[in-house]
Chain A
Amino acid sequence: MSAGAAVAAPPDAESCSQVPVLRERGQREVFCGLTSIVWLHRKIQDAFFLVVGSRTCAHLLQSAAGVMIFAEPRFATAIIDERDLAGLADANAELDRVVGRLLARRPEIKLLFLVGSCPSEVIKLDLKRAATRLSQSFGPNVRVLNYSGSGIETTFTQGEDACLASLVPSLPPEPADAGRSLLVVGALAEIVEDQLGRLLGQLGIGPVRFLPPRSAASLPQAGPRTSYLLAQPFLGDTARALDERGAQRLDAPFPLGVEGTTRWLQAAATAWGISTARFDAVTAPAAERAQRAMARYRALLAGKRIFFFPDSQLEIPLARFLAREIGLVPVEVGTPYLHRQHLAAELAMLPAGTTISEGQHVERQLDRCRAARPDIVVCGLGLANPLEAEGITTKWSIELLFTPIQGYEQAADLAELFARPLDRRMRLVA
């Protein structure tokens, strides 16, 4: 914490980008990986997420999700209490009892994730063993997997990475006679999935499968004939697990904005040997429509200065999109963690001179933000209203995870998310 800021050259020799990075250590004002349960449980509709943690973990989930969900959710917390802390044998028996009660109540559940938290990790509760044991008792009806969403190991969207990585070993192998296939990796809104699937289909690329799937029964296959495209920038562990299955990553920027979407599709088209003519014929109309839709926001936003607090790891692709297609000027782009390899193409496209910061010392970052007086700040829910009260316009970053933003048809919607707070500020006269 006292180490302070250091500007370090990238340690990664194979990185194609030499952007200097401000490394920060101090208070991190970010969610832990448990938070990604809020969208993951909507995505895999027959999965249940059981956090093994404390009242804090339950309260975090409810605070991040509670206002949005009325029905009985497909997530819960097994709250560890004093008696569990007294002896580990008890904790395992207790966990079995809780899972039994849960599955009796929710017979439609086919996939159960035991999600580790800081307390379960500090007391070394072995959820991997628990998952194996429970899979034996409740299989084959229910598959039980485990991953960590703890705040000492994961930041916000890394929870999705850990979840998907835990699924990869369960993906069925390719049949012996399988042709090549494309796997799109990262949770996307259904509408985005369908749009991207249609475009890939029109290009003649396929079969296309998605991870995570919409149900536990439709797990996509994985193997050496599988190429995969990351749809999200925070999936380092999942990519590694897929590599271990022999799948190949297609390097591309992320499908945000017209340029990002085109280059993302291009990576697949190149791998599939699709002709330029066909690629243009399929993508040009959608790209042109998106350009038209974005024009109005470009007029409003061009030249405005934007500052990103670290949150979802989407910050760098977002800054790239906003700078190159909307004309915003990124002042500082904070990211909780910088995966240089997966973000190489993105970093190369950022305007020269953009400050990138990794990690966080929230007080010092607030000082920099106040000094820079940006026109708009992207930050988490804890910082938004205090900054607004200081007269700084903000955009809550969590909305970027809950709103469909990828692909051509969403490019203008994405720009609109940043235009709305400024528009609002201009409307309010009192």
Chain B
Amino acid sequence: MQLTLWTYEGPPHVGAMRVAAAMQGIHYVLHAPQGDTYADLLFTMIERRDRRPPVTYTTFQARDLGGDTAELFKTAAREAYERFRPQAMLVGASCTAELIQDDPGGLARALQLPIPVVPLELPAYQRKENWGASETFYQLVRALAGPAVPPSGTQRPARAAGVRPRCNILGPTALGFRHRDDLAEIAALLGRLGIDVNVVAPMGAAPADIARLGEADFNVVLYPEVASAAAQWLHRSFGQPATRIVPIGVGATRRFVQEVAALAQVDPAPALDDPGSRATWYARSVDSTYLTGKRVFVFGDATHAVAAARVAKDELGFTVVGLGTYSRELARDVRAAAQAIGVEPLITDDYLEVEAAVAALQPDLVLGTQMERHIAKRLGIPCAVISAPVHVQDFPARYSPQMGFEGANVLFDTWVHPLMMGLEEHLIGMFREDFEFREDAAPSHLGSHAAPTAAPSPAPAPPAAAESGGPIVAAWEAAAEKELGKIPFFVRGKARRNTERFAAERGVPLITVETLYDAKAHFGR
């Protein structure tokens, strides 16, 4: 049993819903109690979809348990088929129905519907949402594209001369973090390389499209969390290679173009740069100097977290002080990335652990999910959202991809915006004694509520500290306190914390001006 306040991922059947809701002509019959219908609102409210997800819930009740919940399932499946006339059906159980073991797959087969029925086994007490999406997509691909698999040992015929290369784009789902816009960006990039898109799946695909996945020359995997398993099967079955690079950031986008061009045997040159790409130049412009070494904490799904850490370090000149993920399935990638950067990886789906890590590291910027946005808000730290779980704000009306060259522009804007603008920071420091600048004045672009100087509301003490009664805080000598007042207010809070920590670690009971500068020298900024 795990004590959970907030969860990063929903149950695995929500992952299945993300696949089903993204597709056309499919219906998911879910054996589940009435409360589980809450999942519809994720799609209709958070993503503002204009139709209900294609899901029928059996909504069995306690009084049905002694009777025939299996019959209830069959009726629901039959009625759903008659009403919605899907071209394929997914059937499965949510956590409660898993316990009553009605075997939705077998029951649906007994109905002998004239369409493919794909049974899903999504163990709700072991697995979570992303795994559920991946498994659903994999099972669908196997079931629908399976009949077209050539006999094993068949060589994939070479592409005929004059025929344009074709790929599938795999991974975008409903409720994904910017999937809609990433897809547009990457499809355009492929177009510039002269590569045609055979099928995009799950987003927008009908069952008949899934059946012809094997016709493409290779697969572009945008979101490994969702599409890796299916891509591996397609590789084994049709000999289709798949991309490994996720094009987030300018560098990765270029490497992705090289990778794709090699798979398609085309010239990468037309897509290696983009006249609209500004992120690289903006990062080099002098105003960005102040971004140097900003300490960032990164947390998200594995793909976005690893990419964000790389972009933060290599393309913005930040210092990554923490890197973690809630995706245990892809934890290995995050461990490797963390090791390369030289930080301890944080692999957890416990929100409290992440909060404790952020509170301890006191970064300048948090790149995380909506959960970390809450954490950062409480700790008074700027934050930008880089990954699911999503919020209604993560479906902006404007075009706002994370991938490709335009995606890199978006990353620059959204990560830098929460930080103080360089020149403005400098001026505020210079004029801070002026009557117009109250100590708690915030830069105008942060709006009236932001007050980066305000001492962060006290973080809930991590349990360990609370038990030991907390660290003893040294007293400040008047002269030292005065000296502290001369430090620009937007770094004063940190200077105070660092000095107190320095004093506590050395058992210094009274902080003098000397202690202040000793600490400054020790922490180096």
Contacts and interface: CB of A to CB of B under 8 A. Distances in A.
Answer yes or no: are A and B bound together in one complex: yes
Contact of A31 (B9, B35, B99): B35
Contacts of B37: 27-31, 382
Contacts of A70: 374, 377-378
Interface string A304-318: 000000000000000
A27 B463 CA distance: 45
Nearest to B42: A63
A357 interface: no
A163 to B, nearest CB: 16
B35 A385 contact: no
A81 B3 CA distance: 11
B126 A59 contact: no
B3 A85 contact: no
A81 B125 contact: yes
Interface in A58-81: 58-60, 62-64, 66-67, 70-73, 76-81
Contacts of B40: 29, 381-383
A284 interface: no
Contact of A32 (B33, B45, B463): B33
A427 to B, nearest CB: 19
Given A72-B5, A76-B4, A386-B50, A28 B59 contact: yes
A84 interface: yes
A220 B14 CA distance: 42
Interface string B14-55: 100000000000000000011111111110110011111000
Contact of A2 (B1, B75, B125): B75
B134 interface: no
Interface residues of B, number: 59
Interface in A374-389: 380-386, 388-389
Given A1-B75, A62-B7, A79-B1, A384 B44 contact: yes
Contact of B38 (A54, A63, A67): A63
A381 to B, nearest CB: 4
A26 B79 CA distance: 10
Nearest to B84: A363
Given A30-B37, A119-B99, A59 B1 contact: no
Given A27-B58, A380-B41, A384-B44, A151 B36 contact: yes
Given A81-B125, A151-B33, A55 B44 contact: no
Interface in A140-199: 150-153, 155
Contacts of A388: 50
B411 to A, nearest CB: 25
Interface stretch (A91-99, A226-234, A252-260): A91-99
Interface string A268-287: 00000000000000000000
A382 B33 contact: no
A152 B61 contact: yes
B100 interface: yes
Contacts of A102: 3
Contact of A389 (B9, B10, B51, B391): B51
B471 interface: no
Interface in A84-121: 84-85, 91, 94-95, 97-98, 101-102, 104-105, 118-119, 121
Interface residues of A, number: 67
A131 interface: no
A55 B41 CA distance: 17
A363 B83 contact: yes
B1 A97 contact: yes
Contacts of B219: none
Interface centre among A63, A81, A97, A101 (most CB of B within 10 A): A63
A94 B1 contact: yes
B178 interface: no
A152 B96 contact: yes
B65 interface: yes
A151 to B, nearest CB: 3
A122 interface: yes
Nearest to A102: B3
A250 B374 CA distance: 46
B308 interface: no
Contacts of B45: 381-382, 384-385
B4 A67 contact: no
B1 A98 contact: yes
B290 interface: no
Nearest to B5: A76
A2 B60 CA distance: 13
Contacts of B374: 70
B392 interface: yes
A14 interface: no
A382 B34 contact: no
A152 B44 contact: no
Contacts of A77: 3-4, 7
Contacts of B51: 386, 389
B56 interface: yes
Contacts of A62: 6-7
B221 interface: no
Interface string B291-302: 000000000000
Interface in B154-206: none
A72 B457 CA distance: 13
B238 interface: no
B4 A56 contact: no
Contacts of B48: 385
A27 B56 contact: yes
Interface centre among A72, A94, A95 (most CB of B within 10 A): A72
Interface in B461-485: 463
A34 B96 CA distance: 15
Given A54-B11, A55-B124, A119-B95, A28 B34 contact: yes
Interface centre among B34, B94, B100 (most CB of A within 10 A): B34
Contact of B1 (A33, A66, A95, A105): A95
B266 interface: no
Interface string B107-150: 00000000000000001111010000000000000000000000
Contacts of B377: 70
B76 A1 contact: yes
Given A27-B57, A54-B96, A72-B460, A118 B5 contact: no
Contacts of B100: 122
Contacts of B42: 63
B2 interface: yes
B62 interface: yes
Given A27-B59, A102-B3, A152-B60, A118 B44 contact: no
Contacts of B450: none
A55 B34 contact: no
Contacts of B125: 54, 80-82, 84-85
Interface of A: 1-2, 26-35, 52, 54-60, 62-64, 66-67, 70-73, 76-82, 84-85, 91, 94-95, 97-98, 101-102, 104-105, 118-119, 121-123, 150-153, 155, 363, 380-386, 388-389
8 contacts: A55-B4, A55-B9, A78-B2, A78-B3, A118-B35, A382-B37, A382-B52, A383-B44
Given A32-B35, A55-B4, A56-B13, 19 more contacts: A1-B79, A28-B34, A30-B34, A32-B33, A35-B38, A54-B125, A56-B95, A59-B7, A59-B39, A62-B6, A102-B3, A152-B33, A152-B96, A155-B34, A381-B41, A382-B37, A382-B45, A385-B44, A389-B51
9 nearest A-B residue pairs (beta carbon): A32-B35, A151-B35, A382-B40, A389-B50, A151-B33, A94-B1, A54-B95, A118-B96, A381-B41
